Amino acid sequence: MADAIKNLELRNEELRPAILTGLEHVAALHRLQLNRAAADQAQFSDAFTSSLASVNTLLAVAGVVCRIGAPPVADIQIVTDTSGKLIRRCTHPAAHKWDMNGSPI
């Protein structure tokens, strides 16, 4: 997870440590949520969703954008894909996607 933003250009570099810490929380809560019995998952789901929202806000504040294709640039967010895996995705209409190591998918 520490490599999740290594290739991303941050307009505000000072936010990098906070984003990395946030990503550690996201990863930990993601693991906890997956390992819980269904009855307990809702509570962990709320915590996971909040941690993800926090990281995505930090990414927006840091000005992390996708520059692939024609302008305008698009925000990059961390989301779960249809299988529940964490990925990076931009908000271009035809979204560009990367795994958490930054490899295109």
> Could you say whether residue 92 binds Zn ion (CB under 5 A)?
yes
> Could you say whether residue 62 binds Zn ion (CB under 5 A)?
no
- The sign one gets for the Cα dihedral 40, 46, 52, 58 is negative
> Could you say whether residue 105 binds Zn ion (CB under 5 A)?
no
The β-bridge partners of 86 are 80
Contacts for 25 with CB less than 8 Å, ≥ 6 apart: 51, 54, 55
Q: Report which residue type is found at 103.
A: S
> Could you say whether residue 25 binds Zn ion (CB under 5 A)?
no
Comparison of 29 and 86: residue with beta carbon closer to Zn ion: 86
> Could you say whether residue 86 binds Zn ion (CB under 5 A)?
no
Tracing tokens 């390992």 back to the chain, one arrives at: 35
The Cα–Cα gap between 89 and 62 comes to 16
> Could you say whether residue 59 binds Zn ion (CB under 5 A)?
no
Q: Which range touches Zn ion (CB under 5 A), out of 22-30, 45-53, 60-68, 77-85?
A: 60-68
Interface with Zn ion (CB under 5 A): 66, 68, 74, 90, 92, 96
